[in-house]
Amino acid sequence: MTKKIRLTNKIIEDTLVEALGSDVMPIVNFLKSRKNISEFIVAEKTKVEIHQVRNILYRMHNQNLASYKRKKDSKKGYYISYWTFHQKKVKDLLLSMYKEKLGMLKQRLQKEEANKGCFFLCTNACSRLDFEQSTELEFKCPECGTLLQQQDNTRTIDHLRDKIKEIEASM
């Protein structure tokens, strides 16, 4: 099922930003070609405060994208962490994100198909409800009170199917 995903710099950046936030990129770019770099050096070179650097590094660590070694500073007496970024692990993260999205899309598709023609939409686009929810509200929008209109969800179903095919082709 999984074909070779070619990790371009854009795919790596997009994946990291989506999974961890845009604040990781200065740290990732600094660590890319280095190993076992002190968190204090990372903070100094990237001009990011040490507590933010640690937060980012631990978020990366939680996704298996970074590892560290702790060594005790003989002069100061406290531990310093030395970090390494594992770019090859981005592929695993990307695949896991694809699988999660695929699961959510398939679940939504299943709900849309099971309730085909049974969704109701507010004419002011305040809400979209299924038949059961609509009957409980007497077919009136819970936000603005206007009458709900039945929605043909064929286009939604087609869109979900296309999106699923697109993600499956990427994997």
Over 70: is that where the pLDDT of 4 sits?
no
**pLDDT per residue as tens digits for the range 104-134:** 999 999 999 998 889 999 999 899 999 999 9
CA dihedral for 100, 88, 10, 58, sign (positive or negative): positive
Contact between residue 40 and residue 51 where contact means Cβ atoms under 8 Å apart: no
pLDDT in tens, 41-54: 999 999 999 999 99
Domain 9-90 annotated CATH 3.40.1350.10: no
Which residues are within 8 A (CB) of 71 and not within 5 positions of it... i.e. 6 or more apart?
79, 80, 82
Residue-range domain boundaries for the chain: 9-90, 97-170
Q: What percent of the chain has pLDDT over 90?
A: 82
3-state secondary structure of 99: helix
Chain-centre distance of CA 39, in angstroms? 25
d(CA 58, CA 65): 9
**Which two three-digit tokens encode residue 56?**
């980012």
Contact 30, 48 (CB under 8 A): no
Which DSSP letter does residue 146 get?
P
Measured between alpha carbons, how far is residue 168 from residues 56, 92, 95, 107, 164 in Å? 30, 15, 10, 15, 6
pLDDT at 3: 54
How confident is the model over 64-98, as pLDDT tens digits?
A: 999 999 999 888 888 999 999 999 999 999 999 99
Of the CA atoms within 13 Å of residue 83, those in its CB half-sphere come to 25
pLDDT score for 1: 44
66-72 β-sheet, strand order:
37-38, 79-85, 66-72
Its pTM stands at 0.76
Contacts of 89 (CB under 8 A, 6+ apart): 63, 64, 65
